């Protein structure tokens, strides 16, 4: 019976909430298949993060701490993951499907000669991994036939593992990666700062599309978001136009979200966009074209000019809150 090894992600010394989806999956997986759930933290000066990881029911938290391991590079981290996958007798290696995990885990899979399933939503009775294909218009049951299985876990499909008392044993990893031989160097990280909640963690998301017609128009979306303490999302069209940062793109090739409330403002509802938000609990669409496909997934549709409707919504909500 193999174990499940999950790679934890963190930012500024804090475990990312998103990682708890993969923790939850690993707990479920090991409860069903036997074996234990382990966590791996990689980086430099990550003792704090490793400590935080002890609170989610893992039997062991592996800490690979070395100067050369921070910041992240797929080439060095993949070697560490492969090493610890062996040390921890993992039959499943995974992480929540973030940009980092999508970059890292296929490389790990190749190193371990393992099959990989991306963005999994669950497991069926045969032990096959359920995952979206064709922009989420179909779900396939994917069997991984190799002894080690690599997965990324869709964050919206698993309730984050609950935080408890510190448990699991802390296990330092002796890292033997030749950093001189990596063929890649980190240059810099250009952070896009925002005071708003993260897209993948927000209860409410207000998203804007090409219909907002520019940065000025997009501000209406942001106003509504700020009033509700919501995150801001966007379509590819709005991102390509440079009105909002790239990592706000929701969709097949951007972020997948499932908040309690998703408000689509001036968004047509292309299949690539729907792929990223149709799992939201309540969907509102505001569009002046009554034929827009976004209405087919909306719980509440309003055919209106957004430049009138959104400011009016802000006023109504202020009234309702007062």
Partner 1 sequence: MKILVTVKRVTDPDVKVKVKSDGTGVVTDGIDYKVNPFDEIAVEEALRIKEKAGGEVVVASIGPAEATKEIRSALAMGAERGILVTTDQPLDPGVVARVLAKLVEEEKPDLILMGKQAVDGDNNQTGQMLAELLGVGQACFASKVELADDGGKATVTREVDGGFDVVEVDLPAVITADLRLNEPRYASLPGIMKAKKKPIKEVTLDSLGVDTNRKVVWHTFSEPPVRQAGIMVPDVPTLVAKLRDEAKVI
Residue 8 makes CB contacts below 8 A (sequence gap 6+) with: 15, 16, 19, 39, 40, 41, 49, 53, 95
The reply to whether 322 sits near partner 1 by the rule CB under 8 A is no
Apex 204 CA angle, 97 and 207, nearest 5? 80
* Footprint of partner 1 on 101-160 (CB under 8 A): 102-107, 109-111, 113-119, 126, 128, 132-146
Say how many Å lie between the first and final Cα of the chain, rounded: 58
* Footprint of partner 1 on 231-260 (CB under 8 A): 236, 239-240, 245-247, 252-253, 260
d(CA 58, CA 166): 9
User: For the window 257-286, what string marks contact with ligand FAD as x by the rule CB under 6 A?
Assistant: ---------xxx-x-xx--x----------
The 3-state secondary structure of 62-81, one letter per residue:
EEEECHHHCCCCHHHHHHHH
The reply to whether 306 sits near ligand FAD by the rule CB under 6 A is yes
Find the Cα–Cα–Cα–Cα dihedral 232, 238, 242, 248, rounded to 10°: 30
289 binds, among partner 1, ligand FAD, none (CB under 5 to 8 A by kind): ligand FAD
d(CA 301, CA 297): 9
> Can you read off the two tokens belonging to residue 289?
């074209």
Residue number, 172 or 203, with CB nearest to partner 1? 203
Stretch that binds ligand FAD, among 42-50, 120-128, 145-153, 248-256 (CB under 6 A): 248-256
Of 55, 62, 67, the C-alpha closest to 93 is 62
Residue number, 182 or 271, with CB nearest to ligand FAD? 271
305 binds, among partner 1, ligand FAD, none (CB under 5 to 8 A by kind): ligand FAD
Residue number, 143 or 305, with CB nearest to ligand FAD? 305
Binding site for ligand FAD (CB under 6 A): 209-211, 235-238, 249-254, 266-268, 270, 272-273, 276, 287-289, 292, 305-307
């Amino acid at each position: 019976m193999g174990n499940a090894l999950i790679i934890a992600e963190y930012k500024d010394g804090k475990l990312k909430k998103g990682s708890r989806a993969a923790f939850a999956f690993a707990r479920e997986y090991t409860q069903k298949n036997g074996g234990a759930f382990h966590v791996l933290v990689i980086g430099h000066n990550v003792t704090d993060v490793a400590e935080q990881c002890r609170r989610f029911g893992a039997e062991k938290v592996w800490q690979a701490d070395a100067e050369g391991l921070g910041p992240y590079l797929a080439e060095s981290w993949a070697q560490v993951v492969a090493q610890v996958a062996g040390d921890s007798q993992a039959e499943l290696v995974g992480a929540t499907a973030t940009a980092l995990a999508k970059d890292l885990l296929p490389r790990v899979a190749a190193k371990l000669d393992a099959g990989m399933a991306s963005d999994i939503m669950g497991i069926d009775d045969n032990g096959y991994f359920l995952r979206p294909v064709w922009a989420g218009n179909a779900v396939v049951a994917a069997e991984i036939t190799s002894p080690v299985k690599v997965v990324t876990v869709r964050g919206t499909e698993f309730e984050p593992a609950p935080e408890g008392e510190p448990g699991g044993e802390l296990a330092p990893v002796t890292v033997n990666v030749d950093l001189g031989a990596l063929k890649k160097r980190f240059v810099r990280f250009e952070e896009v700062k925002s005071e708003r909640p993260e897209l993948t963690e927000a209860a409410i998301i207000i998203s804007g599309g090409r219909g907002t017609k520019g940065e000025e128009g997009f501000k209406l979306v942001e106003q509504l978001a700020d009033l509700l303490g919501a995150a801001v999302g966007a379509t590819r069209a709005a991102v390509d136009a440079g009105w909002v940062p790239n990592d706000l793109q929701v969709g097949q090739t951007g972020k997948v979200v499932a908040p309690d409330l998703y408000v689509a403002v001036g968004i047509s509802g292309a299949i690539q966009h729907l792929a990223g938000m149709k799992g939201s609990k309540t969907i509102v669409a505001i569009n002046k074209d009554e034929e827009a496909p976004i209405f087919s997934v909306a719980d509440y549709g309003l055919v209106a000019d957004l430049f009138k409707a959104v400011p009016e919504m802000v006023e109504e909500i202020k009234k309702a809150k007062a």
